[in-house]
């Protein structure tokens, strides 16, 4: 693994994240993951690019997340959330992760890509293995993992070739196929951007949906507050995203010698921003270890990053969580966690493989 600096204080993380001219995300220097990626497995995406390459590729997909487009998506998200919730079993234990969190985020991804509906769980699988570590037991060998990601590239290449030859539409593949900044991407850059969008839209929102149920069960007084005042959903959602911090860190590489927190960082050093620690920094966030649904400044958190790479899908993630909780509170008085969650083996994704719950009739 080699040496790296761990940045753990809120303001230091903010300094690194908002100084892209000093702290690079460039894949050729190692990218944004803690571990350097071997050149033969490098799939460049715009999260692993500095300016001037990053901006135009990001701009290509950002129309997906404008307020107007999100208003349109909200109708669909509500219908689907209602359907998934109405079909949940009563008086038996079931896995919230699979029945709700995975299903809803996968449906959303299929919509964003206009991906064949019946194959949508392929997106879940590709997202899971893209970030999985060998000890996660999700795949048997690195060869198998790469073969599956190759299948992902082939599948999307087929969709790409269909869409590049017809009129532009409002799905992410068509947007990239018709934009000057992305239409000439090579296969590796295409796969890189696809994996970025799949992982971005899948794991993170999924784990916030699961985390929201767990957080309320661990803090019953907070659950009561929300039950009694549904308007608190607006502060509850960002509080869950802070509490969960679905992505524990992002990494940068120093482009020059620089000072940080009284230390000298040398050109070429690896710098890891631990969002998960910054989100518990009592110097900036009052009672940072507590989960408080009516927190005064709930958006004061690092979970979406800051600076030029700040999450492009953050408003969509918040919208999905807001709608599902509006629909949950209309229907169920209690979603009871009845066992320990099983966590995903990762230092990057803070997530859950299972969460056993029960809803009484």
User: Phi and psi at residue 260, in whole multiples of 5°?
Assistant: -150, 120
Q: Which residues contact 217 (CB under 8 A, 6 or more apart)?
A: 223, 335, 336, 337
* Range in contact with ligand HEM (rule: CB under 6 A) among 116-124, 203-211, 281-289, 339-347: 203-211
* Range in contact with ligand HEM (rule: CB under 6 A) among 80-88, 90-98, 284-292, 310-318: 310-318
- Phi-psi region for residue 50, left (φ > 0), alpha (ψ -120 to 50) or beta? beta
* Range in contact with ligand HEM (rule: CB under 6 A) among 96-104, 139-147, 204-212, 213-221: 204-212
User: DSSP letter string over 255-307?
Assistant: SS-EEETTEEEPTT-EEEEEHHHHTT-TTTSTTTTS--TT-SSTT---TT--G
Nearer to ligand HEM, 200 or 359 (CB): 200
Among residues 312, 324, 344, 355, which is the contact residue for ligand HEM, using CB under 6 A?
A: 312
H helices present in the chain, as ranges: 10-17, 54-61, 67-86, 96, 103-113, 121-131, 142-164, 172-177, 187-218, 220-228, 233-244, 275-278, 314-331
197 binds ligand HEM (CB under 6 A): yes
Among residues 97, 102, 196, 357, which is the contact residue for ligand HEM, using CB under 6 A?
A: 196
Q: What's the min distance (Å) between Cβ of 241 and ligand HEM?
A: 5
Binders of ligand HEM among residues 222 to 261 (CB under 6 A) are 241, 246-247, 250
Helix, coil or strand: residue 43: coil
Binding mask 150-179 for ligand HEM (x = CB under 6 A): ------------------------------
- Nearest partner of 249 among 65, 49, 5, judged by Cα: 5
The Cα angle at residue 194 between residues 126 and 273, in degrees rounded to 5: 90
200 binds ligand HEM (CB under 6 A): yes
46 binds ligand HEM (CB under 6 A): yes
306 binds ligand HEM (CB under 6 A): yes
Among residues 316, 323, 335, 349, which is the contact residue for ligand HEM, using CB under 6 A?
A: 316
Residues forming the site for ligand HEM (CB under 6 A) = 17, 46-47, 58, 112, 196-197, 200-201, 204-205, 208, 241, 246-247, 250, 303-307, 309-314, 316-317
């Amino acid at each position: 693994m080699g040496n790296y600096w761990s940045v753990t204080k809120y303001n230091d993380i903010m300094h690194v994240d908002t100084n892209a001219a000093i702290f690079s995300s460039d894949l050729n220097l190692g990218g944004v993951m803690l571990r350097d990626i071997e050149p033969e497995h490098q799939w460049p995406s715009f999260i692993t690019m500095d300016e001037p390459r990053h901006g135009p590729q990001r701009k290509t997909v950002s129309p997906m997340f404008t307020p107007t487009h999100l208003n349109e998506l909200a109708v669909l998200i509500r219908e689907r959330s209602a359907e998934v919730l109405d079909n949940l079993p009563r008086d038996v234990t079931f896995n919230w992760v699979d029945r709700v969190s995975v299903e809803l985020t996968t449906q959303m991804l299929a919509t964003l890509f206009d991906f064949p509906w019946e194959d949508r769980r392929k997106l879940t699988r590709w997202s899971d293995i893209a970030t999985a570590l060998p000890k996660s037991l999700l795949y048997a060998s690195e060869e198998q993992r790469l073969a599956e990601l190759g299948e992902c590239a082939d599948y999307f290449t087929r969709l790409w070739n269909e869409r590049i030859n017809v009129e532009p539409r409002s799905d992410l593949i068509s947007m990239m196929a018709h934009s000057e900044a992305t239409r000439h991407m090579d296969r590796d850059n295409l796969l890189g951007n696809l994996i970025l969008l799949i992982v971005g839209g899948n794991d993170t929102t999924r784990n916030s949906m699961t985390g929201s149920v767990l957080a309320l069960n661990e803090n019953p007084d907070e659950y009561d507050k929300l039950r009694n005042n549904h308007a608190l959903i607006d502060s509850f959602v960002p509080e869950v995203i802070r509490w969960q911090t679905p992505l524990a860190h992002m990494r940068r590489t120093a482009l020059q010698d620089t000072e940080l927190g009284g230390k000298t960082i040398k050109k070429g050093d690896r710098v890891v921003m631990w969002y998960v620690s910054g989100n518990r920094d009592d110097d900036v966030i009052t009672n940072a270890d507590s989960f408080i649904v009516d927190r005064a400044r709930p958006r004061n958190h690092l979970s979406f990053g800051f600076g030029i790479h700040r999450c492009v899908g953050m408003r969509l993630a918040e919208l999905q969580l807001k709608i599902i909780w509006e629909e949950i509170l209309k229907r169920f008085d209690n979603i009871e966690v009845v066992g320990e969650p099983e966590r995903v083996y990762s230092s990057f994704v803070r997530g859950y493989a299972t969460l056993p719950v029960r809803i009484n009739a």
